[in-house]
Amino acid sequence: MKTFTFIIASFFIFTCLKSQEVSDQRTLPIVAIKTLQGANSSTSEITNDGKPIILAFWASWCRPCLKEMGAIAEVYEDWVEETGVKLVAISTDDSRTARNVLPLVNGKGWEYEFYLDENGDFKRAMGVNLLPHTFILNGNLEVVKQFTAFGDGGEVKLIESVREIIEAENQD
């Protein structure tokens, strides 16, 4: 095991030393996820044709998450029209409740793009701990901001971040 630790440590040092020069932003890791019907998919399928994305980690048993999704649903059409943003919702429901997600989101009438992260691989790769956890991605799928927890009115922060991205792009 000591050798193994050494290899991991060397890898960290190597990348730390190598990466002094240029700056860039964090993008999405490539991780296997599933559609709500159970088909294999990948985070590489997540795209919005160069427009911003709201990437929301949630679960069907998380009440604040349901509130957040419901609050966004009321204004989603306006958001899409105004900014072209897309909400990609990653359900972290495990096999206990994963099958409940599809009828739940249809029953609620939510029209987001949904995926399942049944064993938390995507969640871990993104450093998500508490739910809900929401990332704002720019058109290049770079993480611009992230938010955890949800209180009434919290959806405003999300769209404000999206507007900032668009304003910044317009200035460039």
Partner 1 sequence: MVENLTIYKNKKAIIMAFLFLLAFRAAAQETVNTGQLTGNFQTDFQFYNPDSLIGAPVVPEKLLLNAFANVNYTFKNFTAGVRFESYLNALQGYDTRYNGTGIPYKYFQYNNHGLGVTVGNFYEQFGNGMIFRSYEERSLGIDNAMEGLRIKATPYKGILIKGLIGNQRNYFEKGTGIVRGIDGEFTFNDIFESLSTNKTWVSIGGSFVSRFERDKDPIYNLPENVAAAAGRLTVSRGKISLMGEYAYKFNDPSATNNFIYKPGNALYVSGTYSQKGFGVLLSAKRIDNMDFRSSRTATGNDLLINYLPALTKQHTYSFTTMYPYVTQANGEFCMQGELTFNIKKNTPLGGKYGTNFTLNFSKANAIHKAALNDSTAIGQNGTLGYSSDFLKWDGKKYFQDINITINRRLSRVLRSSITYMNYLYNIDVIEGHQGDGIMYGHVGIAEFSLKVSDDNSVKTEIQYLNTKKDDGDWAMLMLEYNIKSTWFLTVIDQYNFGNQDPDKQIHYFNLTAGYTKNANRISLTYGKQRAGVVCVGGVCRRVPASNGFAITITSSF
- Residue numbers 72-111 binding partner 1 by CB under 8 A: 94-97, 99-100, 102-109, 111
Chosen residue from 78, 129, 140, 160 binding partner 1 by CB under 8 A: 129
Nearer to partner 1, 21 or 167 (CB): 21
Binders of partner 1 among 133-152, rule CB under 8 A?
133, 145-152
What letter would DSSP give residue 133? Answer: E
Tokens found for residue 103? 């009828």
Of 164, 165, 134, 144, the closest CA to residue 72 belongs to: 134
Using CB under 8 A, pick the residue from 78, 156, 168, 169 that binds partner 1: 156
Taking residues 48 to 67 in sequence order and writing x for each that binds partner 1 by CB under 8 A, - otherwise, the string is ------------xxxxx---
Question: Helix or strand or coil: residue 163?
Answer: helix
Residue of 45, 75, 78, 120 that binds partner 1 (CB under 8 A): 120
- Beta strand spans in 26-117 (E): 32-34, 40-42, 53-58, 86-91, 113-116
Using alpha carbons only, how large is the chain's radius of gyration in Å? Answer: 18
